[in-house]
Amino acid sequence: MQQHVPVPTAESSVPPAPDPAAGPGRPGGGTDGEPGSWRTALRRPRTLGLLTLLLAAALWLYALPRIGFREMGDYGLLDRLPAAYYLSLLVLTAGFVLSLRRAATAPWWPTAHCAAMLFALKAPPAVLYDEVRYPWASKHDAVVNTLLANGELRPGAALSGNMSAYDQWPGFFTLNGGLVRAFGVESAATYANWAPIVFGLLMMPVLVLIYRTFCRDWRLVWTAVWIFQLANWVGQDYFAPQGLAYLLHLTVIAVVLRHFVRPGSAGRLRDRTFLDPAAATVPPPTGTRQRAICVAVLAPLIAAVNATHQLTPVMLCICLLALNLTRRYRNLGLLAVAGLLMLTWDLTMGRPLFVETLSTLKESLGELTQNSRAGYAGQLTGPGPELAGTANVLMVLAIVVLAGSAVVLRRRLTRSALPLLLVSVAPVPLFVVNDYGGEMLFRVYLFGLPGGAFFAAAALVPAFAGTHRGRAKVLRHRAAAVALPAVLLVLLAGFLPSYYGKEKMYYTPPAETAMVTRTLDNAPEGSLILATTGSFPQALHRYDSLEHWYFAEQELPENEKMLKDPAGYLAEGIPPGTTAYVILTRTQDTYTAGEGLLPADGFESLRTRLSASPLFRTVESHPYGVVLEYRPATR
């Protein structure tokens, strides 16, 4: 019979640091003025952790005002970030790796480094930008403003610009309407850029709870959290309903994994000799009455997910269905409640979009290539977008390879963490169903990331049991000591272009925002607003009283035909008697070029031809944009 060996902790794998207070006759002893004293102090986890955090903060603060975000070129922020910024990330990574040596006895140091890395990676836009990052995020601010101004929702109204869904799933906007009033700020745009940091910080304890359900090695747990942050480049945690819904989704999953274990279902998973040394035993079982109470507690949380976002409840039901495939978490009652709440919302508040989506399933069902595309229809062009696209693919492959190797090589850990693996792969079949406006690829990756990060960490933090190690174990320990920081640096190098390589599309000058706002404020009610794409600031300002046509959000061949006679093309699509304005901005130029919606110089050609056409009168013209009014009477 296999002999039980204790799970390795930082205490068993790394010799403890000598006591700095030890006397001269003890190891590491010496007076405060002797070399042994300060050397010993520097080796203490508290000192090392504090030094790396302080040094990284100093470098980051030094770099912050030197980030040239107003003069971004082809590579977005990548070549505008000073060397001190990159150095601060390296220091944080080194500090985190060092903090793992005492993760079991001092978990607050990995916690602090994870929080600091999250802030260092995603806070620059929040601190520096004078406009909302991601121009399309301004439409969410517009919904909050409209809700506060009107004091009502209109889920049945056919709103232009695909805005009806926001009145049908208003949870996020209702919450922010309350926050705007509570904070006394002018609008949600005041704090919108802080959303990734807030969501990230709130997600950390949820991830820890999920990982601790299957693992008792704190090194692996915090490495998984760190990898999750580096691999979360998809930008779905911005000021949008899906960020809040995703947090609620993970919270429900965490509670289920922790408190829905059926009695007698663990089997050999409660036997330490059968488990991976790093694996946690199955949580205590709960009776039928306890699980029923948990269902009642989770029901409002699941209802909040349904009120916030249309896709996340589908993901939640699929994940709960996957858990029902295991005897350990088989709970049809919770799945039935989640499904009933989803259908109730879809057939009442969300009925218009739900019916429309059902009518399109026949066309998208089974179209794997089409459903897994990213974006509208174009091909990334330009050095920055192309680098970002390549980095995206490599990041996905890196997580898949790391996680896959752990699933194969650490089969005992895989058996005990099988529910987490099932939850991670459960969303993949949605590729067969729909493309979700070109975002299904990102959503499937994001919902699979918690489990992917856990198993990727398991590949880098192997368990070493016992105090007597053979030569093979020593070699493995040394290899892991090199592989862990190396892979974390590679993932960091992949995150930066993935997240900031297309930043030129995401930052908008205030003057451009002011021009758009001014135009939309002066447009008569019922006017038609034309633009190449909806990716420009305040594109949907006054969305409830204006119509919209983003005429370049289509296949490139169609746009090439449009460019042959853009004035005639637009005139044919404008209903007779309609007041119409064309807004062309620098942000649209950057976006259509980077996403490959228009050919090279296509946007400039469009602007020149429309400005010269007798069908359009120039209202405003600036280096950052032009506003044209449709004047059919001048033909």
* Count of beta carbons in the 10 Å neighbourhood of residue 355: 11
Reported in sequence order, the residue ranges of 433-489 that DSSP labels E, i.e. its strands, are: none
Give 215-269 as a DSSP string: B--HHHHHHHHHHHHHH--S-TTSSSHHHHHHHHHHHHHHHHHHH-PPTT--GGG
Enclosing H/E stretch for 611: helix 602-612
Residue listed under structure tokens 């942050």:
229
Both tokens of 597, joined, read 């919606």
CA distance 381 to 369: 20
Q: Write the DSSP symbol of residue 287.
A: -
Token pair 């059902």: residue = 358
Side-chain half-sphere exposure of 106, counting CA atoms within 13 A: 19
| pLDDT score recorded for residue 28 | 39
What is the predicted pLDDT for the residue at 366? 56
Running DSSP on this structure, what letter comes out for residue 284?
P
**SS3 state at 24:** coil
Contact 114, 72 (CB under 8 A): no
For residue 522, give the amino acid letter: N
Contact 337, 302 (CB under 8 A): yes
Token duo for residue 91: 């220091």
373 within 8 A of 435, measured Cβ to Cβ: yes
Helix H or strand E segment including 100: none
SS3 annotation, 300-348: HHHHHHHHHCCCHHHHHHHHHHHHCCCCCCCCHHHHHHHHHHHHHHHCC
**Which of these, 127, 110, 9, lies nearest to 53 by C-alpha position?**
110
Amino acid letter for position 264: G
Q: How far is CA 611 from the centre of its chain?
A: 40
CB 584 within 8 A of CB 532: yes
d(CA 566, CA 503): 29
297: nearest Cα among 337, 326, 250: 337
Q: What is the dihedral angle through the alpha carbons of 448, 453, 459, 465, rounded to the nearest 10 degrees? A: -120
Cβ-Cβ contacts under 8 Å for 383 (sequence gap 6 or more)? 74, 75
Question: Any idea which residue has 């035993």 for tokens?
Answer: 281
Q: Which residue has the tokens 């290899």?
A: 479
C-alpha span between 93 and 100 (Å, rounded): 11
Contact 460, 487 (CB under 8 A): yes
DSSP category for residue 29: -
End-to-end CA distance of the chain: 93
Write down the pLDDT at residue 165: 86
Token pair, residue 241, equals 């309903």
Residues facing 621 on adjacent strands: 626
User: Which residues, other chains included, contact 365 with Cβ-Cβ below 8 Å and sequence gap of 6+?
Assistant: 432, 433, 434
Helix (H, G, I), strand (E, B) or coil at 627: strand
* Element (DSSP H or E) covering residue 588: helix 586-594
Phi, psi angles (nearest 5°) of residue 582: -105, 125
CA gap 583, 590 in Å, rounded = 14
Distances (CA, A) of 331 to 382, 534, 553: 50, 43, 44
Q: Are 341 and 301 spatial neighbours (Cβ–Cβ below 8 Å)?
A: no
CB-based contact 96:110 (threshold 8 Å)? yes
Mean pLDDT of each 10-residue bin along the chain, 635 residues long: 42 38 37 49 67 96 95 92 97 94 85 96 95 92 92 78 85 95 93 96 97 94 97 92 96 94 84 85 90 93 96 94 91 94 93 81 62 57 88 93 94 93 90 67 89 96 62 73 93 96 92 95 95 93 93 90 94 93 95 90 94 95 94 67
Helix (H) / strand (E) containing 53? helix 45-63
Helices 312-323 + 440-460 axis angle, to 10:
40
Cα 287 to Cα 280, 319, 331, 473, distances in angstroms: 21, 22, 11, 42
Q: Residue 322's pLDDT is what?
A: 95
Give which of 249, 255, 373 is closest to 315, Cα–Cα.
249
**Contact by Cβ (8 Å): 582, 628:** yes
Q: Which residues contact 164 (CB under 8 A, 6 or more apart)?
A: 155, 157, 158, 352, 353
The Cα-based distances of 161 to 150, 366, 534 in angstroms read 19, 27, 8
Q: SS3 of 480, please? A: helix
Concatenate the DSSP letters of all residues of 501-553 into one string. TTGGGT---HHHHHHHHHHHHHSPTT-EEEES-S-STTTTTTTTT-EEEETT-
Helix/strand/coil percent split, the chain, to 5: 65, 5, 30
